[in-house]
Structure 1
Amino acid sequence: MSTGTRRRGGDLEAAIYEAVFEQLKAVGYRGLTMEGIATEARTGKAALYRRWQSKDELVTDALKHVLPDPPSAPSTGRVREDMLLLLTCLRDTLVACRGAALKVLKEESGDGKGIMHEVIRARISQPVMDRLYESLVEGAARGEVRPEAATRQIAKVGPAMIVYRNLTEGVTMDDEQLASVVDDVLIPIVRPR
């Protein structure tokens, strides 16, 4: 297929990822085909199959391409600031996933634990909860957190509130609301008595 100038490397990959999301919007996950993606990206199917064996592999890579990198351990030295940074990362990921194509992918994944769920869990949700837990443990060592509050269960509270609000109300928390989750819910749970 001739497009004038042959694209390679990053340019071709970006066009293919964009085509994945355009096709998801147009035909949904069930209607998504490698041929449709190739046509949308103005390339041949062979270019897709050289890198991806299936549409699931391609969709997974496309998702990873649009999602932010997993958060690194915050190094603020203060539990409140660590919580704000990590919850902001999670919130911003939800914002990135609000596109129509991603919504279609989520809705069509069947049991709700399809490709999108797995990629977001591995790339963002689990690392955020792991970093929150690490921050609680470090905060307990500094005396900012009650030792018995430095648990994985408590590390899930903030992310659960953000995801719940997003799912039930369809809105994303702004910075002030995130600060309220930290200041009015999380800090009182972990603060030394």
Structure 2
Amino acid sequence: MTASQSAGRPRDEIASRALKDAALELVRAEGYKAVSIRAIVEAARVSRQTLYNRWQGKAELVLDAMFEEAAQSTPFPGSDPEIPMRDQLERFLGAVFEHMARDGDIIRSLIAAAQEDVGFREAFHTRFVHPRERIVTELLEVAQSRDELPADRDVAMLSTFVHGAFWYRLLTGQPLDETFAREIADSVFAV
């Protein structure tokens, strides 16, 4: 690697961070639809081409920024053998719901964008929806291996029910809170 190549790499990371931060700040303040690519690149102080070198457009940029932030603030369940999996599910859902309470409007806008753009729909599912589905399914598999959940329960279907419940509430504007997280965990682990 030449000196010029290594010098360029930090700038790429700085530009990417600036774009993600600007996108989230603007979208949270003004709403997804009201924010243009132009506004984002001006706030980030980079060129439009810099954005398009990394993302296909606004939806992918906002998705990546949200995914990165959510990954940092949401605890990964299943790692503590001392905590019952039912409690870990409730904690995980509580953290997810906290994120959705703050950014529910943005997530609803991304869902709408995914309906209009097949390529983005695939990216949204692959990078945002599927990882969360996998976390819940794995948590339930661990619960079965610990005999905290009956072996005859279909964990993939339970995971679908969990996600269906919160996506429905998100899309219909109903509360996503600690109480709902507890109710879901109680229902999943009810014998």
Tell me if both proteins adopt one fold, taking TM over 0.5 as the criterion: yes
> Larger helix proportion, structure 1 or 2?
2
Q: Which amino acid aligns with 1:52?
A: R
**How far off its partner does 1:154 sit?**
1.4
Aligned residue number for residue 94 of structure 1: 100
Structure number with bigger Rg:
1
Contact 1:140 1:150 in 2 (8 A): no
Contact 2:63 2:110 in 1 (8 A): no
Identity %: 18
Number of residue pairs aligned between Structure 1 and Structure 2:
176
Aligned residue number for residue 132 of structure 1: 136
1:15 to 18, 30, 44: 18
**How far off its partner does 1:145 sit?**
1.7
Please report the TM-score for the alignment, with normalisation by the length of structure 1.
Answer: 0.66
Aligned residue number for residue 184 of structure 2: 181
**How far off its partner does 1:157 sit?**
1.8
Q: Which amino acid aligns with 1:163?
A: W
Aligned residue number for residue 52 of structure 1: 54
Structure 1 residues 139-182: Cα deviation after superposition (integer angstroms, max 9, x where no partner): 333332211104211122222212212222x1332212311222
Structure 2: runs of 5 or more not aligned? 1-10
Report SS of the residue matched to 1:98. helix
CA distance in 2, matches of 1:27, 1:173: 21
* Bigger Cα displacement from structure 2, 139-148 vs 18-27: 18-27
Aligned residue number for residue 112 of structure 2: 107
Q: Does 1:75 align with 2:79?
A: yes
1:171 to 171, 174, 177: 174
2:45 to 36, 42, 46: 42
1:62 to 60, 65, 82: 65
CA distance in 2, matches of 1:114, 1:40: 27
Aligned residue number for residue 162 of structure 2: 158
**How far off its partner does 1:102 sit?**
4.9
Please report the TM-score for the alignment, with normalisation by the length of structure 2.
Answer: 0.67
Q: 1:115 to 1:76 in 2, by over 3 A?
A: same
Contact 1:87 1:128 in 2 (8 A): no
CA distance in 1, matches of 2:18, 2:137: 38
Q: 1:53 to 1:27 in 2, by over 3 A?
A: closer
Contact 1:90 1:125 in 2 (8 A): no
CA distance in 2, matches of 1:79, 1:175: 16
Structure 1: runs of 5 or more not aligned? 1-7
Contact 1:129 1:159 in 2 (8 A): yes
Q: 1:44 to 1:127 in 2, by over 3 A?
A: closer
Cα RMSD over matched residues? 3.7
Report SS of the residue matched to 1:171. coil
